[in-house]
Amino acid sequence: GASVIALGCSSAVAADMTVGFSQIGSESGWRAAETSVTKMEAEKRGIDLKFADAQQKQENQIKAIRGFIAQGVDAILVAPVVATGWEEVLTEAKEAEIPVVLLDRGVDAPQDLYLTSVASDQVKEGRVAGEWLAKTVGDKPCKVVELQGTVGSTPAINRKKGFEEAIAGKSNITIARSQTGDFTRSKGKEVMEGFLKAENGGKDICAMYAHNDDMAVGAIQAIKDAGLKPGTDILVVSIDAVPDIFAAMVAGEANATVELTPNMAGPAFDALDAFKKDGKQPEKFIITESKLYTPADDPQGEYDRRKGLGY
């Protein structure tokens, strides 16, 4: 089974733990928020956090994890950049009896190699985005362009799958083009420029679906540079709910986003605490909420609220 937790900071008792955190990098605003919330949560609980930035490279993550094992940390958090290639290093952690918690992305590895995983239901996120689009366009023909996340990462695989599921029964909605923008603003812009050129300067595009808000923000710039109105001429739907997408909604340039909490570490530290103190086995998958936001949901207020949450 899985439990659902909400956005927000939980208060928990301080633990005398040293925890290594192998972070992916700083590809997006959401990622930067997760890093700062993780540091805040550790500080609040008296946890000594060893932070390692992998600059988007799995080999750097594997090196960092081996370093944490050698240091004899009490636990390891890892946000795995891609799904495959983890079995060996996770086995090393297990043999050293160091519990590993996965944050925000999944792995293709046996479940006994990690204590728990704190992440969203990424297929659901894609489905929520697709259902919003299907409802919004109704029976109107709609050509969609898609900006995918990092190749081989679970959010890219699952957000594509969920969106496709949601539009499967709608023959008027088709995905005309789909390419990776690596979850970054700059690649989102660059790839969108190509889509616009290939689709009659953008006049043939009805909607842009991006696997994260940062790519959407880059794409919004490309749409404006092409002389079209994002949010009106081309619908914009994405995932994360970072402050900048709410700023775009305030400007009328974005239409929908699906919220991803940056507080994955709170539930992770709670699970580690209970496991270390009472030997309590946590749920294997701790699933965070996936709530849809549109310009009807007070985007200025949502922008302001997030600015106070570590973004």
Binding footprint of ligand GYE on the chain (CB under 6 A)? 27-28, 30-31, 104-105, 155, 183, 212, 214, 239-240, 260
Q: C-alpha angle with apex 288: 80 to 47, nearest 5 degrees?
A: 65
Task: Give me the least distance between CB of 307 and ligand GYE, in Å please.
Answer: 17
Confirm if 79 and 65 have CB atoms less than 8 A apart: no
Task: Give me the least distance between CB of 125 and ligand GYE, in Å please.
Answer: 8
Q: Which residues contact 202 (CB under 8 A, 6 or more apart)?
A: 195, 196, 223, 226, 228, 233, 234
Task: Give me the least distance between CB of 198 and ligand GYE, in Å please.
Answer: 25
In the bound state with ligand GYE, the residue whose beta carbon lies nearer, of 82 and 167, is 82
SS3 280: coil
Identify the helix (H) or strand (E) that includes residue 133: helix 122-137
In the bound state with ligand GYE, the residue whose beta carbon lies nearer, of 202 and 218, is 218
Task: Give me the least distance between CB of 81 and ligand GYE, in Å please.
Answer: 9
In the bound state with ligand GYE, the residue whose beta carbon lies nearer, of 104 and 193, is 104
SS3 169: coil
In the bound state with ligand GYE, the residue whose beta carbon lies nearer, of 30 and 209, is 30
Encode burial over 265-276: b for 16+ CB neighbours within 10 A, e otherwise. Answer: bbbbbbbbbebe
Give the distance from CA 48 to its chain's centroid: 25
Task: Give me the least distance between CB of 16 and ligand GYE, in Å please.
Answer: 30
Count of all residues that appear for the chain in the document: 311
Task: Give me the least distance between CB of 46 and ligand GYE, in Å please.
Answer: 27
Task: Give me the least distance between CB of 8 and ligand GYE, in Å please.
Answer: 18
The 8-class DSSP code of residue 200 comes to G
**Residue found under tokens 């909490």:** 261
Which has the closest alpha carbon to 150: 238, 19, 28? 28
In the bound state with ligand GYE, the residue whose beta carbon lies nearer, of 27 and 41, is 27
Distance from C-alpha of 73 to C-alpha of 109, rounded to nearest angstrom: 22
In the bound state with ligand GYE, the residue whose beta carbon lies nearer, of 31 and 189, is 31
In the bound state with ligand GYE, the residue whose beta carbon lies nearer, of 152 and 170, is 152
